[in-house]
Structure 1
Amino acid sequence: MHELKVTRLVAAPVEKCWDILANRQEEWWCPAPWRIEMLAQERRPGGRSAMVMRGPEGEEMPQDSVFLDWDEGRGFTVTDAITLGPDGYAPAQPFMIGRWQIEPEGDGTRYTAYARHWTEEAMTQHKEMGFDEGWGAVADQFAALCES
């Protein structure tokens, strides 16, 4: 599998981490000063997940994906290989399958985010785009929000 991942041990209970993971994505999803606007989040396998990433200079990056799973209290998985529009499911140019999960660890919570790619080239491209820095910043933002 062509996988990149980031993980953090968060000094907060699983319940609080889940609430933030699932319900407060606009507060941690993008590395600041970028932010997201959540457009749709149909929390079920096959449901639509759509957002727009907005940059500090007016940049906009729409992101449309489909949930592969929604495991209440534990995590969720999406892919951009499929979109869901008014005419139903449609194939899209795939980039990755993303998984965000939490699990209890000691007195805290283990946060892990995975990006799985179809090819080694796509994985390398994602890494070179700044995966470690970007997804690391997001993990830090998530942890700080949970620990506050």
Structure 2
Amino acid sequence: MTDTPATAPTRTTGTARTAPASREDADDGARPAFPTTTDEWRSAARGTLIERLGIELTHVDPERTTGSMPVAGNTQPAGLLHGGASVTLAETLGSVAAQQHAGPTRAAVGLEVNATHHRGVRSGSVHGEARALHRGRSTAAYEIVVTDDAGRRVCTARLTCMILGD
């Protein structure tokens, strides 16, 4: 994947159009510009749950997408990483990869996510890697493995996305 700017138009109800100037301008139902680089995905995450949880994308492409998230601020009252935070990291990585597979004229939407939590984490960061299991015309499926700083498996998730459009 190259880190070149995205120039493809976005689509809304079958009509090509340019991207809105800002996220606020996107409230008319139009899709924002299609991010193609890791930096563009980071920018697109501003003001979303991704930013709120501190998820940092480190590599983005349709076959393999990676990222990390701090444990601090994403814990349950017992001080362990919240399982929902692990699932959010997993779904984010799989969804970004699926959207890269779908391309600028189609949309990837989550159909099903499941997760198994293997161990608790109290500090540091967790790291996720989404790997494609299936990249088809109408669906894409990913296995996402979340590990702690020592490389121990914390969570294994599977995400299936439906590809909408053309």
Structures share a fold, TM > 0.5? no
Bigger Rg, which one: 2
Q: Which has a greater percent of strand?
A: 1
Q: TM-score, normalised by structure 2?
A: 0.31
TM-score w.r.t. length of structure 1: 0.33
